[in-house]
Amino acid sequence: MRKQVLTILIACASVAAMAQTSQPAVIEDFKPSTFNQPQQEYPMVNSQGYARFKIVAPAADSVRVSLGLGGKGGTKLQKTEDGSWMATTDGPMDEGFHYYNVRIDGGKFNDPGTLNFYGSTRWESGIEIPAHDRDFYALKNVPHGHVHQVLFPSPSTSTSRRAFVYTPPGYEKSKDKYPVLYLQHGWGEDETAWSNQGHANLIMDNLIAEGKIKPFIIVMTYGMTNDVKPGGIRNFKIEPFQTVLIDELIPYVDDNFRTVKNKDGRAMAGLSMGGFETKTITLNKPDVFSYYGLLSGGTYAPADISDKSKVKMIFLSCGSKERPDGVRKAAEELKAAGFNAVSYVSEGTAHEFQTWRRSLYQMAPLLFK
């Protein structure tokens, strides 16, 4: 299991963030990234996916952003006449969301132009390269669900722990009971990732408005219960998080929300390390969840699952720049063994959030059928 996590992380690190190596001429139609802070012009992105950065630090000797150059060392900014530092990436970037940071005279900081997103066990800068399919997670004039911040009691960790709970539009007025997807972030991220970077709430709002899914609840909590030290994943043990999830969070959610309180009403899915957690916990606790999703987070083999009748659906996905053949092959083997398994490959994306936004969009209609 530990070896699998390491493999995922290494695959992640080696995937280049750049889309192409032979570069077209840069079109000068740059606009502020949609994740900029209010009134901030930079960073900007153009219609080809180039990013342009501007950092004000008049007396600095060296300014560099961690994006660009195939992920190797990032982009060096050049000093301009007004004392700011500027550069454009050396090629178009993959569609969707990218984390980055800014090196100023050897220190690691964030770009004051952007919002921050928790990744790599720190709040990082983020930039959005507009995707051709961005409509499915756009903020539209449709009914919106709520994202509740809840603080649930956790005797096993002697704390009140935080989770975010998406309830679909109409939940407050309805008397229905809703099924629940427990949805995990990746290594170095936290329970804010699926809403902030992933737009999970907007993906759901739009799917519901279009009548493509029956409404369900999503619960997102912190999965690195016992291990937040950078590089410490070698020692990751599932038990502390499994206890929080199974013995503390699920009972809290079932007690405080109108849920379907049985395994047919529960799914678990996760991205990257959250996929590893999903695989481990669904196999350890076969009577808790019926729907399993691994998003860039490994695969199940038929032999992993002792009682086929307990699994209603298995969803496996990744980006086309990861290992799409592995995901496709695993789904085929599961299907051949009689499982309801589905694979999805996000075209042109790597181990990043655009892969996982699309994966959630593809997976949601398959849940709770």
CB of 132 or CB of 175, closer to a second copy: 175
Among 20, 256, 284, 320, binds a second copy (CB under 8 A): 256
Are 241 and 161 in contact, with CB atoms under 8 Å apart? Answer: no
Name which of 106 and 211 has its Cβ closer to a second copy.
106
Burial class (CB in 10 A: 0-12, 13-18, 19+), 249: buried
- Is 4 a residue that touches a second copy (CB under 8 A)? no
* Minimal distance, residue 19 CB to a second copy, in Å: 29
Shortest Cβ 227–a second copy spacing (Å): 11
C-alpha to C-alpha distance for 120 and 312, rounded to whole angstroms: 34
The answer to whether the beta carbons of residues 220 and 200 sit under 8 Å apart is yes
Q: Residue length, the chain? A: 369
User: If 0-12 CB within 10 Å is exposed, 13-18 middle and 19+ buried, where does residue 165 land?
Assistant: buried
Give the shortest CB-336-to-a second copy separation in angstroms.
44
Cα–Cα distance for residue pair 245/334, rounded to 1 Å:
27
Q: How far is the CB of 47 from a second copy (least distance, A)?
A: 24
* Element spanning 7, H or E: helix 2-14
175 lies in the site for a second copy, by CB under 8 A? no
Of 149, 262, 284, 320, the one binding a second copy by CB under 8 A: 149
Among candidate residues 120, 121, 1, 104, the one with its CA nearest the CA of residue 53: 104
The count of other CB atoms within 10 Å of the CB of residue 109 is: 14
Which of 59, 81, 82, 211: binder of a second copy (CB under 8 A)? 59
Pick one of 148, 177, 285, 329: the residue that binds a second copy (CB under 8 A). Answer: 148
Write the interaction track for a second copy spanning residues 84-103; mark x where CB under 8 A is met and - where it is not: ------------------x-
In angstroms, the CA 299 to CA 304 distance is: 10
Interface with a second copy, residue 241, by CB under 8 A: no
Instruction: For residue 211, state whether it binds a second copy (rule: CB under 8 A).
Output: no
Could you give the strand order of the β-sheet that contains 107-109, starting from the edge strand earlier in sequence? 75-76, 63-65, 102-104, 107-109
Contact between 231 and a second copy by CB under 8 A: the answer reads no
Show the site string, 307-346: x = touches a second copy by CB under 8 A, - = not: ----------------------------------------
- 146 lies in the site for a second copy, by CB under 8 A: yes
Residue ranges that bind a second copy, judged by CB under 8 A: 37-39, 55-62, 83, 102, 104-110, 112, 115-116, 121-123, 139-141, 144, 146-153, 159-160, 165, 172-173, 195, 201, 228-230, 256-257
